[in-house]
Structure 1
Amino acid sequence: MIPAALPRRRQGRSPVAEGPHMLIAAAVILAVAGAVTLWIRANVLVVVVRGPSMRPTYDDGDRLVARRRRSAPGRGDVVVFRNPRAHGVPGSSDGPLLVKRVAAGPAGPAPEGMGTAVVPAGHVAVLGDNPAQSLDSRHLGFIPVENVIAVVVRRMDTHGRALRTSGSSEP
């Protein structure tokens, strides 16, 4: 009978010494993945457009990637903000967040029909791209800047990939 060949041991390290290194590497990978996840949750928001108010730029059901706000949004930015009307109140939308375009910033000229010529300090005027079907500053009044939580930077395709956004001031 021919003896079976025994597997050769790697020279240098013993199998016992590799175990702790593998555990440390796995712990580092998990820590980095956790840190990246926390950073994304703190800086990025994904929202879904509801309704026709932002047509033709965005359609009902479009998913948008937005960067959480660090400064006041600029005129022309598409923003995500907290709905000032409680859910279920007549004239309110279906959700707690709305997506609209900034028509005027603080101390800027207010859009027609707002009842005042200038946007108050600390507020923005927002309008939908489809004014005939939009719940916006014409109905809600001026929106406090602190209610604006994010600026849209991309629209996602049906497979979850980010696409360039038309009309946004972001690169």
Structure 2
Amino acid sequence: MAARKSDWIDWIKTIIITVIVIVLIRMFIAVPIVVEGPSMLPTLENNDRLIVDKISLIFQNPDRFDVVIFHATEKKDYIKRVIGLPGETIEYKNDQLFVDGELVEEPYLQEVKQNLDPNATFTTDFTLEDIPGGSMTVPDGHVFVLGDNRKNSTDSRHLGFIPLEQIVGIARFSYWPIMNLGTID
């Protein structure tokens, strides 16, 4: 028995609605991405697959230590960790992070730093005045970002401050490889 015309129309409607829902989810809620390069080691590795939360940026700006994806160029997105928020002073001195003059621990780097040669530094000393577009504080509407792999990362030390409107989303969940399944800290 041949399929009725109404059955075909129902199938076409279902496909169109499904495509629209998927497009809306990817545009406004969440999107999968693939990590490219070593700049976020040890937290994220090359080819890790993540789910990026886009919707929370509608309600609030990223927090310190959120891992964000942003438009670095028209064709390239980067993934880095938010270190400095608008109005803050950021300084690295003796391999330690100071925000507004106060020492701030970076627990996601503890293991790497413990494995370093005692005479080596993981993050070279700098102040915000040393970076492109340098100023005393992170400008309003911007954040200061660093890769977790401080020796091999193109980040705010090279790019300058990142405008909040260039941030695509916050990396929330790793789903591949399966051994890295879980939330991103």
TM-score by length of 2: 0.65
Over the matched positions of the two proteins, sequence identity in percent amounts to 34
Q: Could you list the per-position Cα deviations for residues 36-90 of structure 1 after superposition, in whole angstroms to 9, with x for gaps in the alignment?
A: 2221221333222222211111011212221224242111111111115x8xxxx
The structure 1 residue matched to 2:153, chosen from 117, 120, 134, is 134
Name the counterpart of 1:98: 78
Q: Is 1:59 equivalent to 2:45 in the alignment?
A: yes
The separation in 2 between residues aligned to 1:135 and 1:147, in whole angstroms, is: 16
SS of equivalent residue, structure 1 residue 132:
coil
AA of the residue aligned to 1:110: I
| Alignment RMSD (CA, Å) | 2.6
1:36-51 → structure 2 map (5 Å cutoff): 36-43=21-28, 44-51=30-37
CA distance in 1, matches of 2:61, 2:91: 18
AA matched with 1:72:
N
Give distance in 2, aligned partners of 1:75 and 1:32: 38
Asked if 1:107 is matched to 2:87, the reply is: yes
Q: CA deviation at 1:126?
A: 0.2
43-52 vs 121-130, which deviates more? 43-52
Q: SS of the counterpart of 1:133?
A: coil
In the alignment, is the contact (CA less than 8 A) between 1:111 and 1:125 conserved in 2? Answer: no
Judged with a 3 Å threshold, the aligned counterparts in structure 2 of structure 1 residues 111 and 48 are, in CA distance, closer, same or farther, namely farther
CA contact (8 A) 1:104 1:111 kept: no
Match of 1:166 in 2: 184
Larger Rg: 1 or 2? Answer: 1
Residues 69-108 of structure 1: matches in 2 within 5 Å?
Answer: 69-70=57-58, 71-84=60-73, 96-108=76-88
Structure 1, unaligned runs of 5 or more: 1-14, 87-94
Deviation at 1:138, TM superposition (A): 1.3
Aligned residues: 141
Letter in 1 for 2:155: D
CA distance in 2, matches of 1:26, 1:48: 32
Q: How far apart in 2 are the matches of 1:24 and 1:79? A: 42
Q: Deviations over 1:83-122 (max 9, x none)?
A: 15x8xxxxxxxx7111000001111332432214421101
Partner amino acid, structure 2, of 1:132: K
Greater strand content:
2
Distance in 2 separating the partners of 1:105 and 1:140? 16
